[in-house]
RNA sequence: CGGGCCGUAGCGCAGUCUGGUAGCGCACUUCGCUGGGGGUGAAGGGGUCGCAGGUUCAAAUCCUGUCGGCCCGACCA
């Protein structure tokens, strides 16, 4: 809403110097608003008539499908099977695990009636009250636990490795497209093991799957580590997470993996008979990533001209844009483009084919090109009569400036497409890593901490801070007061430094080297 | 749920203070000129001003309520 101010005085003198950008405001001007505009310009999603819920549009959903496809393959490769459990959970189930209730009770949608009846005024009213209210799953530990208790009888049934792709509902107060919505799509893995060690191994393994996927496919570098008590999943013994840095230098928790100990096994009576004939409580884990990953993807790479997609997750790798200035050459150019599309689609990228969009819509060329830039397609190929004659193509890559385009020999372009896409993928990851590195700092004292996280005076909107690595005694009360005072939280105790003991920068007591950051 | 800002055409906004026939830009439709780039000229289409009450001869404008959005807190993947 500060658009008003911008369109008046400010822009007047900036206009002449500033390069025009497809997205307004820019990241530097207003980061949260820029984020929304990127989503709109790329046609990824929009808000819905239902408060806090989003509509994922085809281009956004295609990204989610690609995330699903790749992760699903990795889950299967590590021995997991997919299943599906009910959307509704009897309210009493939630009650079984004390911490779990506390964590989720205040954000549950509750179903209390089974039908609607018209009243005297013809208005529909809920009728047929349920004997026991149902809640819409905020997560499925309790109902899955109930079933696992039946499925697991013997040590021979273990390990039990299940995953489900589903929607869940958490009645959030403030929502943002992809990052936090009342209903979201996710995947939740639930496993049962005979020993603590094996369950912990599973927890770590799945965190590793997430971390590797984030880096290799989303080109989003992540830190892995354990959460402190304050940030732990309700009911878990230990929670691990992957944390990524967004372009405003805030941290985004992009995936979690929980070691649940025997807490849910006890509350759901998941027991098995060991080889020695003894009845034992099992050990469980759960782990998940959500459509939030799409938000992370957007904020990792996109620029002031819109979305930037890493090739490995992009719904389309190449868009072919015919340039038809003269009616006389139009048919020939279109045919040339069709053939180009066919040949590109015969090329292999990753473990599939190169995905090509051919945009022959009858509209102005510039608009069309900018449309695809805003959608983030990695490679644009513009082909006109002159290119056709020279048997060449005019190529632009999304990780470079919009006008930074070059003419390439057609066959060389086709045979090199896979390499070109790899190079864009690598470049995006390298850029993201460099950005994170540039804004990660070792912090030794509270004063330095405050300086790092405080914007320049008089410029509260300025990008500042980042990842602060520092010694911390992990006292929950101190952590809480720091969070309240500075709006900075412990994102995790990074695995890379978990074994070190260092003095706490606040108290001097022995502590761990932890990652502090502002977060989403 | 508290504090601030805001709901007027598909999108972005002016008009509200000071009540008097609903406007602008972009987008859209048709036609023309253009033609390696989001160009240009003309003519059009589209809005019960978020919703419900109230005050008034008259309400986008004033009053009350309500629903929704954004930002800042508390909460969270």
**Protein footprint on strand B: which nucleotides are under 7 Å from a CB?**
1, 4-6, 12-14, 28, 35-39, 67-77
What pTM was computed for the model? Answer: 0.93
CB A193 within 8 A of CB A305: no
User: Region A167-183: what's the mean pLDDT?
Assistant: 89
The A 126-165 residues near strand B by Cβ under 7 Å are none
Q: Is the CB of A471 under 7 A from strand B?
A: no
pLDDT digits (tens, 9 = 90+) for A225-245: 999 988 899 999 999 999 999
Q: Is the CB of A239 under 7 A from strand B?
A: no
pLDDT tier at A4 (50, 70, 90 boundaries)?
A: very low
Q: Is the CB of A292 under 7 A from strand B?
A: yes
pLDDT tier at A196 (50, 70, 90 boundaries)?
A: very high
Nucleotide nearest A21 (Cα, C1'): B38
Query: What are A150's two structure tokens?
Result: 């039946």
What is the rounded distance in angstroms from the CA atom of residue A188 to the CA atom of residue A195? 21
A88 or A34, higher pLDDT: A88
Cα A264–chain centre separation: 27
CB A88 within 8 A of CB A137: yes
* C1' of B62 to CA of A2 (Å): 27
Q: Is the CB of A366 under 7 A from strand B?
A: yes
CB A54 within 8 A of CB A60: no
* C1' of B30 to CA of A325 (Å): 22
Find and give the residue nearest to B68, measured CA to C1'. A51
pLDDT tier at A9 (50, 70, 90 boundaries)?
A: very low
What is the rounded distance in angstroms from the CA atom of residue A142 to the CA atom of residue A74? 25
Exposure string of A241-267, with b = 16+ CB inside 10 Å and e = fewer, is: bbbbbbbbbbbbbbbbbbbbbbbbbeb
Cβ-based neighbours of A188, under 8 Å, separated by 6 or more: A139, A140, A163, A164, A166, A168, A286, A287, A288
Which residue(s) pair with A273 in the sheet?
A154, A279
Find and give the residue nearest to B6, measured CA to C1'. A1
Nucleotide nearest A383 (Cα, C1'): B36
Q: Is the CB of A504 under 7 A from strand B?
A: no
A454 or A390, higher pLDDT: A390
User: Region A380-403: what's the mean pLDDT?
Assistant: 92
Q: Is the CB of A172 under 7 A from strand B?
A: yes
* C1' of B27 to CA of A371 (Å): 14
Which residue(s) pair with A247 in the sheet?
none
pLDDT digits (tens, 9 = 90+) for A275-324: 999 999 999 999 999 999 999 999 999 999 999 999 999 999 999 999 88
* C1' of B48 to CA of A49 (Å): 21
Rounded to 10 deg, the angle between the A410-438 and A292-301 helix axes is 100
Q: Is the CB of A266 under 7 A from strand B?
A: no
User: Region A253-273: what's the mean pLDDT?
Assistant: 96
What is the rounded distance in angstroms from the CA atom of residue A320 to the CA atom of residue A334? 10
Nucleotide nearest A33 (Cα, C1'): B70
Q: Is the CB of A20 under 7 A from strand B?
A: yes
Angstrom CA distances, A507 to A286, A298, A347, A472, A484, stand at 35, 38, 59, 8, 17
pLDDT at A8 over 50: no
What is the rounded distance in angstroms from the CA atom of residue A3 to the CA atom of residue A92? 49
pLDDT tier at A14 (50, 70, 90 boundaries)?
A: very low
Cα A257–chain centre separation: 15
Nucleotide nearest A168 (Cα, C1'): B77
Q: Is the CB of A253 under 7 A from strand B?
A: yes
pLDDT tier at A29 (50, 70, 90 boundaries)?
A: confident
Angstrom CA distances, A111 to A94, A98, A103, stand at 14, 22, 19
Query: What are A125's two structure tokens?
Result: 């009213």
What is the rounded distance in angstroms from the CA atom of residue A172 to the CA atom of residue A194? 36
What pLDDT does residue A461 have? 56
Q: Is the CB of A184 under 7 A from strand B?
A: yes
Long-range pairs, A412-416, Cβ under 8 A, ≥24: A413/A381, A414/A340, A414/A343, A414/A344, A414/A347, A415/A347
Q: Is the CB of A382 under 7 A from strand B?
A: yes
* C1' of B68 to CA of A189 (Å): 36
pLDDT at A486 over 90: no
Considering only CA atoms, which of A269, A268, A287 is closest in space to residue A162?
A287
Q: Which residue has tokens 């992957």?
A: A242
Nucleotide nearest A4 (Cα, C1'): B13
């Amino acid at each position: 809403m500060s658009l008003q101010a911008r369109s008046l005085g400010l822009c007047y003198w900036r206009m002449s110097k500033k390069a025009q950008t497809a997205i307004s405001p820019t990241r530097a001007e207003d980061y949260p608003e820029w984020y929304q505009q990127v989503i709109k310009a790329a046609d990824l999603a929009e808000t819905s008539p239902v408060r806090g819920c989003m509509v994922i549009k085809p281009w956004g959903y295609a990204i989610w499908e690609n995330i699903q496809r790749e992760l699903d393959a990795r889950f299967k490769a590590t021995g997991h099977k997919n299943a599906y459990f009910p959307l509704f959970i009897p309210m009493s189930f939630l009650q079984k695990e004390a911490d779990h209730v506390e964590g989720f009770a205040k954000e549950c949608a509750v179903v209390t009636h089974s039908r609607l009846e018209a009243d005297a005024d013809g208005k529909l009213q809920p009728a047929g009250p349920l004997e026991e209210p149902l809640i819409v799953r905020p997560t499925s530990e309790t109902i899955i636990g109930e079933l696992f208790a039946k499925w697991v009888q013997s040590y021979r049934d273990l390990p039990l490795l299940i995953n489900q792709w589903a929607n869940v509902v958490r009645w959030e107060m403030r929502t943002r497209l992809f990052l936090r919505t009342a209903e979201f799509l996710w995947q939740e893995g639930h496993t049962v093991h005979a020993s603590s060690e094996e369950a912990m191994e599973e927890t770590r393994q799945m965190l590793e799957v997430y971390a590797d996927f984030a880096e290799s496919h989303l080109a989003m570098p992540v830190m892995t580590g354990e959460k402190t008590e304050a940030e732990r999943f309700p009911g878990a013994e230990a929670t691990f997470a992957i944390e990524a840095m967004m372009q405003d230098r805030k941290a985004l928790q992009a995936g979690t993996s929980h070691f649940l100990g025997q807490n849910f096994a006890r509350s759901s009576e998941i027991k098995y008979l060991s080889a020695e004939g003894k009845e034992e409580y099992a050990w469980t884990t759960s782990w998940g990533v959500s459509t939030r990953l799409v938000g992370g993807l957007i904020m990792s790479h996109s620029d002031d001209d819109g979305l930037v997609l890493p090739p490995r997750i992009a719904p389309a790798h190449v868009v072919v844009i015919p340039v038809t200035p003269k009616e006389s050459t139009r048919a020939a150019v279109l045919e040339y483009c069709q053939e180009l599309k066919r040949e590109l689609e015969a090329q292999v990228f990753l473990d599939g084919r190169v995905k090509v969009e051919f945009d022959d819509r009858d509209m102005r060329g510039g608009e069309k090109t900018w449309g695809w830039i805003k959608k983030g397609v990695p490679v644009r190929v513009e082909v006109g009569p002159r290119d056709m004659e020279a048997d060449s193509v005019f190529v632009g890559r999304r990780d470079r400036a919009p006008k930074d385009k070059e003419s390439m020999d057609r066959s060389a372009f086709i045979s090199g497409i896979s390499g070109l896409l790899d190079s864009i993928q690598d470049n995006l990851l390298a850029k993201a890593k460099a950005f994170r590195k540039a804004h990660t700092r070792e912090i030794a004292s509270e004063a330095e901490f405050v300086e790092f996280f405080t914007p320049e005076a008089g410029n509260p909107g300025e990008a500042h801070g980042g990842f602060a690595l520092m010694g911390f005694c992990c006292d929950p009360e101190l952590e809480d007061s720091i969070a309240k005072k500075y709006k900075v939280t412990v994102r995790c105790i990074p695995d890379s430094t978990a074994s070190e003991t260092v003095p706490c920068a606040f108290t001097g007591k022995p502590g761990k080297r932890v990652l502090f950051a502002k977060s989403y």
